[in-house]
Amino acid sequence: MIAAAVRPEQVLDRAQVDGPGAQAVRAQVATLRVAFDAVADRLGTVRDRLARADAALDAVAAERAAR
């Protein structure tokens, strides 16, 4: 599946170009695309949470330094 996503032309060369082999490769590529999009969305959420945590730590450090 990874090969289909990275180098689909090589996988299609080995499959039947217009037959069930090509359809299977296309289905695998679509499945991977959806999975990678979901992972990217989750990583974006984690990145946002980390940025908020970093900002909160900066605020606490600034408050303590002002004392």
* Rounded-to-integer distance, Cα 29 and Cα 54, Å: 37
Question: Where would I find the H helices in 1-67?
Answer: 2-6, 8-14, 20-66
Who's near 14: CB < 8 A, 6+ residues apart?
A: 21
Q: Cα angle at 42 between 33 and 5, to 5 degrees?
A: 20
Per residue in 9-55, pLDDT (tens digit) is 666 666 555 566 777 777 888 888 899 999 999 999 999 999 999 99
- Domain containing 13: what range? 2-66
End-to-end alpha carbon distance in the chain = 58
> Would the pTM count as exceeding 0.85?
no
* Rounded-to-integer distance, Cα 48 and Cα 2, Å: 28
Number of domains in the chain: 1
